[in-house]
Structure 1
Amino acid sequence: MATFGAAGRWPHILPLAYTIQALFLITLRFFIYKRKSWHYFVYDLCYFVNVLTLLYIWVFPSSKILFTVCYTLSHGPLSFAIVLWRNSLVFHSLDKVTSLFIHMYPPLTLFTLRWLLPLDLQRKDYPAIVHIGSSLHMKTAVFYTVVFYLIWQVLYYAFIIYGRREKVDRGLRATSYTWLLADKDGFVARLIQKFGFGGPNDGINRYKIVFYFFLQFGYMLLSILPVCLWYYRNMYVNGIFLCSIFAVSVYNGASFYIDVFSRRYIKSLELLHDCDETETTDGIPRHSISSCPLRKSSQVNMNSSDNANELNNKKSS
């Protein structure tokens, strides 16, 4: 929420704030994922869009084509991925915060440049926005977005699917497409199975990969249409969309916390029940708390609290 406030009050500093955080978090994620053999995830579309956004901000601010592509991809597949991948706002998890940042910050930054940055700063620092005008040309926007998307797709196929095929097939490297295709409960795997290309247990073949790519392309195409029709033309519609996407991440985070703490609470009750059963031998109850770590911990906390209260009473007297 602080980011939304900063975007409204100091829109000119948000690109710099986004850049610093992106360089730090994405670099850190790469090294963390590399240790786990997950670093092929960093070649996904969401990271490609982040790179394009940084290039527009700092290298090609006059490029109408690049700004159009960044706006459509960031507000399209990147934003909707928060819903599909269940990104969540979980403050104590660096991985979850980074995932949310990667999907949320590019559209927020571009929204700020489009709607909140004063016109004189737009002309000076980001002239492409002024030259485009109040709306995106549908055919032009879709055409260039598809071109950039296909560039990423070809590079991904060349370097990951084909170039690193042996490591991926042997399970030495994890990728987003292998994870989705192997997810038995996932929508993608079930849809592919319905079309007769095999289930999750049948391995990954080229028909599954081709079907997955076409499915991903269709998702991208559908998700960018509202950007051209509504988001870029109306600030309020654009803002409501971003707030709704962010609200989904907050809801997912709240659900995560509720699930985690409820599981811990249930586990503590089960441990307490087990302690009650083990503290009875031949029908004779044992009053020692040393046999139950849970009660022992509780007793220590109670004693500490009593000692603290006694100390406070002495000080007050």
Structure 2
Amino acid sequence: MDDVFFDSGDEQNEHLYNTDHESDGELDSFNGLLRVPGQKVRPLSQRVEKLVLDFREKQEIFKRRRQDLAQSVSRGIRKEFLQQQERIVLRSKQMAKKLQSGRSRAWRHKWVFALVEADFVVTAFWLGASPQTFHLYYTAQMAVVMCGKVFDYRFTDQHYFLLDFCFFANACTLVWLWICPTSGYLFNAVESFCGVLALSVPLFRNSCVPHDFARISNAYVHYPQVLLVLSMIWSSDGEKRQGIEAGMAESWSARLFQAWSVYMSWAVLYASVIFVLAKKRIERKRRDTLYGYFAHTLGFKDKLPTWLRDYSGIVFMLGHQTLFMSGIGYIFLPFSVQVVAILLAITIFFHNGGRFYVDHFWKAHERNTVLYLDAATSMMTKASKEGSHSSLESKCTDDSPG
């Protein structure tokens, strides 16, 4: 029974196999009917290979066209980008030339002078009328000054000056006011900064020159912070009062350590950037820094002993720390003595401004006087020569015969 079953299966499979070949034979006979007489018939494999080759060739052509299109588009975009950059550079030069023109400088100096004078009036009025809210005005004042300094230093390639301690001190003061007002640790540091900032007014010759933004802004990053701390100690409430009382409740050694530790955080940051991370970039691009101002502009590096000149950066940082330590005792002064100290610093600030204007106008007066005398002497000499020449001609005329 099993043999019959398998035999029948083989016969069925053979029938199917024959049917398939019979179908192929019918297809060949059909193709024979469509075949053109005399045409050479190629095998199916060759036709498939030709189709594959044609497809690959078209694919390569499409790829090359796509690359050419991308290159042409990229060239167009690059050209447009370069043209746009040239237009921006041209406009920047035109704007810089316009800003540096005499009329533009005069207009800018007049407005800066008016705004600074108005700030003096508002500061005095606010301190007297509402000292407990003076931190609001100080915050707005620092926002304007900081933005102005960032723009000024970035435009003049002096942005490394933004790492100076005075900016760090004002930033810490703002952090204490708005983020950590109850921190006695931070208040001790902020109050200790008042000493070095007050000393910086006479040492760095901050001058009250209201028409010059560069000079007046250098003063704005020094004395307003001291006025703010005095106003907070004098009249403050809420969380700021808690922070002040918590800071003053510490022992004198703890207050000194807290102030010095915050200062050292700035010293480490400054030294790491100026002398390590950005040293090569500063030297390559010849950027100005506070260290460069003291070392090269003022020439203190050349005044050091030869064996110590290679360590001028360490000497600079130690000197700055000495300046800070000389003013850290400010936190132990009575409130009345602190007021006298800031009044003395502001008086020096105004005196430096008066000296600037008097020296400027006196030199201008002397220069104009010399020019006037030279012009008058020249005219008198010329007139005397013309008079002597005319008298000589008249004499010769009188002495001529007939």
1:251-270 equivalence runs, <5 A: 251-270=351-370
The answer on 1:128 being equivalent to 2:228 is: no
Task: Measure how far apart 1:144 and its partner are.
Answer: 1.4
C-alpha displacement of 1:156:
1.1
What is residue 308 of structure 1 aligned with on the other side?
Answer: none
Question: If the length of structure 1 is used for normalisation, what is the TM-score?
Answer: 0.77
Change (3 A) 1:66 1:132: closer
What are the equivalent positions in structure 2 for 1:1-317 lying under 5 Å apart?
A: 2=121, 3-73=123-193, 75-117=194-236, 122-133=237-248, 137-170=251-284, 172-184=286-298, 189=300, 193-197=303-307, 206-225=310-329, 227-230=330-333, 234-279=334-379, 280-281=381-382, 283-284=384-385
1:78, 1:17 → 2: CA distance? 19
Structure-2 separation of matches of 1:157 and 1:92: 34
Cα separation, 1, equivalents of 2:170 and 2:276:
24
Q: How far did 1:47 drift?
A: 0.2
Q: Aligned to 2:287, what secondary structure does the other structure show?
A: coil
- Cα distance in 2 between the residues matched to 1:162 and 1:217: 19
Gap change, CA 1:267 and 1:158, over 3 Å in 2? same
For 2:304 and 2:275, locate their aligned partners in 1 and report how far apart those are by CA, in whole Å. Answer: 24
Displacement of 1:124 after TM fit?
Answer: 4.6
Structure 1 residues 82-133: Cα deviation after superposition (integer angstroms, max 9, x where no partner): 111000111111112211111001111011000133xxxx235542113334
Deviation at 1:196, TM superposition (A): 4.3
Partner-residue secondary structure (3-state), 1:281 = helix
Match of residue 293 from structure 1: none
Alpha-carbon distance in 2 for matches of 1:249, 1:165:
34
Secondary structure of 1:61's aligned partner: coil
Provide closer, same or farther for how the CA distance between residues 285 and 222 of structure 1 changes in structure 2, counting only shifts above 3 A: farther
What is the letter of the counterpart of residue 103 of structure 1?
H
In the TM superposition, residue 171 of structure 1 has moved relative to its aligned partner by: 5.6
8 A contact 2:275–2:313 mirrored in 1 = no
Change (3 A) 1:139 1:95: same
For residue 77 of structure 1, report the CA deviation from its aligned partner.
1.3
2: distance between equivalents of 1:94 and 1:207?
35
The Cα of 1:278 is off from its aligned counterpart by 3.6
Question: Normalised by the size of structure 2, how large is the TM-score?
Answer: 0.62
Residue 34 (structure 2) aligns with: none
| Residue 212 to residue 124, structure 1, CA distance change in 2 (3 Å) | closer
Supply the AA of the counterpart residue of 1:160.
Answer: I
Letter in 1 for 2:244: I
User: 1:251-296 CA distances to partner (integer Å, 9 max, x unpaired)?
Assistant: 111111111110110111122123224434373479xxxxxxxxxx
Gaps of 5+ in 1: 199-204, 287-317
Higher RCO (Cα < 8 Å, 6 or more apart): 1
Change (3 A) 1:125 1:217: closer
For residues 250 and 215 of structure 1, the distance between their equivalents in structure 2, rounded to whole angstroms, comes to 27
Matched residues in 1 for 2:241 and 2:342: separation?
A: 22
Over aligned residues, Cα RMSD in angstroms? 2.2
Distance 1:197 1:94, change over 3 A: farther
User: Could you say if the C-alpha distance between residues 4 and 113 of structure 1 is closer, same or farther in structure 2, counting changes exceeding 3 Å?
Assistant: same
Higher share of residues assigned helix:
2
Q: What is the CA–CA distance in structure 1 between the aligned matches of 2:251 and 2:260, rounded to whole Å? A: 14
**Alpha-carbon distance between aligned partners in 1 of 2:371 and 2:146, rounded to the nearest angstrom:** 41
User: What is the DSSP-based 3-state SS (H/G/I as helix, E as strand, rest coil) of the residue aligned with 2:238?
Assistant: helix
| Aligned partner letter, 1:49 | A
Unaligned runs of 5+ in 2: 1-119, 388-402
Distance 1:24 1:77, change over 3 A: same
**Map of 1:297 onto structure 2:** none
Secondary structure of the equivalent of 2:188?
Answer: helix
